[in-house]
Amino acid sequence: MIKICVPITGSNMEEIKCQLNELALIDVDMIEWRADYYFSMEALELIKKILPDKELIFTFRTKAEGGEKQPDDDFLLYIYTLISLSGKVNIIDLELDGICKTKPEIIERLKSSGIKLMFSNHDFEKTPSEEEIINRYKRMEELGADIAKIAVMPKDRKDVDALISAAKVADKMIQIPIVAISMGELGKVTRIDGEKIGSIITFGSLEKESAPGQIPVKELIKKLRAI
C-alpha cells in the first residue's frame, strides 16, 4: 500500500508533543516535520523520542510555496546542514524553484552526508500543462533528487486528469519514485488512488491540514485499506 505520511504542524513544543502522542496511536508509515511552523533541535529530539521508528521527512516550506515563513537562503543552508548532520532525519524536502535554483551546491553537500532528498514543486494557483509537469519531474531527477514531488491546484476535473496523466508518464519515464498530488476537494482522488498513478506517498492530516484537500488520517487509512 502507498505510504501514509502525516505532517507535524505544531507552532510550539506543547502542540508538537500533543500531535506526536496522537500519532503514536495511529498506524502511519512516515511523519513530516513542518519546521516552518516551529523549528528547534529540541523539537527534533522530541519527535525521535516519541516516534523513533517512523521515517521522518524534514520540510521547511517557504511562503512562496504555501509555507509559514520566507527565510533567506543562508538560514536554509544552515538548518539543512544541521539536520543532515544530526542523523535523525531520513529525507529532506528541497523546493525545486527555491533553494535548488538559488543554491544548487546544497544538493551535493546534503547527498554526501547520506541523507535522501525529495525535491518538491507546488502551484497553489493552477495546474500546468501535462508537458510542463513531466518536464519538472525530469528536471528533479537530473538535479539529483531521490524522490520527486509535485502538487498542483485544479480548477476543474480536466486539470485533475492532466495531473494523473502526467504522473503516469513520468513514473515510466524517470528512474526515481514520484509523488503526485492534485490539491483541494477536486483532487482528493489523487490522495486516495495515488498508488495507481505511481505515487509512493500520500499525506493525511490530524486536526490541521498543511495543504488544501488533505484527508484526516484516520479516514484516509480506512479508505486505503478498503481499496
Annotated active-site positions, please?
Answer: 122, 149
Encode 93-154 in three state secondary structure: EEECCCHHHHCCHHHHHHHCCCCEEEEEEEECCCCCCHHHHHHHHHHHHHHCCCEEEEEECC
Helix, coil or strand: residue 31: strand
| Cα gap 134→207, rounded to integer Å | 33
- Residue among 66, 126, 83, 121 nearest 99 (CA): 121
- Strand pairing class (55-59; 91-95): parallel
| Cα gap 40→149, rounded to integer Å | 25
R_g of the chain, CA atoms, integer Å: 16
Q: What are phi and psi of 38, to 5 degrees?
A: -165, 130
